[in-house]
Amino acid sequence: EIVMTQSPATLSVSPGESATLSCRASQSISSNLAWYQQKRGQAPSLLIYGASTRATGIPARFSGSGSGTEFTLTISSLQPEDFAVYYCQQHYNWPLTFGGGTKVEIK
């Protein structure tokens, strides 16, 4: 099983600033990584897939990068609606696995 590790667990950021979230895979997953956003009380929603492709309707301030075992989600100029929990997920092989999440909170 591929273990996905996200860091930090919590990130405190002021509105308008940028945030950088990390996700590490226990073995190479090429570019088979997705990012999801989950707001309080809601189901997750897809942000990024293939490590760097934004899903339909996702603003350009969200960007993903990385390959192999190291991945990054960058949110530039954080908006009030961006404060949420973010999860990475490898879509390389079975079983599919998620990281533990990073909570982006208002500083």
Partner 1 sequence: QVQLVESGGGVVQPGGSLRVSCAASGFTFSRYSMHWVRQAPGKGLEWLVVIEINGATTYYADSMKGRFTTSRDHSKNTLYLQINSLTPDDTAIYYCVKEFENDKWFFDHWGQGALVIVS
| C-beta separation of 75 from 82 below 8 A | yes
89 lies in the site for partner 1, by CB under 8 A? yes
As measured in angstroms, the least distance from the Cβ of 12 to partner 1 is 19
97 lies in the site for partner 1, by CB under 8 A? yes
Of 29, 42, 27, which is closest to residue 81 (Cα–Cα)?
A: 42
| C-beta separation of 72 from 102 below 8 A | no
Among 23, 75, 87, 104, binds partner 1 (CB under 8 A): 87
Among 5, 45, 77, 79, binds partner 1 (CB under 8 A): 45
Query: How far is CA 43 from each of CA 24, 32, 39, 53, 80, rounded to the nearest angstrom?
Result: 23, 22, 7, 21, 18
Task: Dihedral sign for Cα 49, 52, 57, 59, please.
Answer: positive
As measured in angstroms, the least distance from the Cβ of 17 to partner 1 is 25
46 lies in the site for partner 1, by CB under 8 A? yes
> Which residues bind to partner 1, rule: CB under 8 A?
1, 32, 34, 36, 43-46, 49, 55-56, 87, 89, 91, 94-101
